[in-house]
Homo-oligomer: A and B are copies of this chain.
Amino acid sequence: MKPENRKEEIVITAAKLFKEKGYSAVTMRDIAKAMGIKAASLYNHISSKQEILKNIIISLAEQFTQGMSLIKNSNSNSLEKLKQIVILHVDITARNTFGMASLNNDWMHLEEQLEHYLKLRHNYEDDLRNIINQGINSSEITNSNPDIMLFSMLSTLRSLYLWVPKKEDLNPKEFANELSKVFINGIKK
């Protein structure tokens, strides 16, 4: 039986600091100070700094993988699937703004888990690309460069962690809905 609570506190505190300064610039002493304890005490709950990063990133990456799996196997059409993907990103980001910063900016500091992470990310991108291509084939989506659409969507969705916290007035559902409209219809009147 592990003290899962205290460990979770450490991971959350660390994620907050990682968002501000990045993994490498945050020291174990920084994390400890933010919790009001000494650095050595952290090791009663976690085994290494690396383990904190792994906990933040891998759990998020797997949430995305799982969400994508549901969406791609649903029988919605492509545009509906894309909307659901926007919702997936907004939801996960809204529940974990701090961790999303690490997922985006500190994944390269993963050690043992780097390969696993890269595999998940690659598969996720492939799934998204497939949905776009299916949309082009079914004439739901305009037949221009699918990589550019993929890039544009993914860049925006990956940056959500920077904007979601600033838009607390808009609830996640509304935010996702407005954002989908921009992707799908563009900004032109």
Contacts and interface: CB of A to CB of B under 8 A. Distances in A.
A24 B144 CA distance: 40
A interface: dominant SS: helix
Copies of this polypeptide in the complex: 2
Chain A interface size band reads 35 or more
Contacts of A23: 22, 25
B183 A184 contact: no
A186 interface: yes
Nearest to A148: B178
Nearest to A108: B21
Interface string A143-174: 11101110110011011001100010010000
A182 interface: yes
Interface stretch (A32-40, A49-57, A110-118, A134-142): A134-142
A179 interface: yes
Given A183-B186, A185-B188, A186-B184, A22 B156 contact: no
Interface of A: 20-25, 79, 82, 105-106, 108-109, 132, 135, 139-145, 147-149, 151-152, 155-156, 158-159, 162-163, 167, 170, 175, 178-179, 181-189
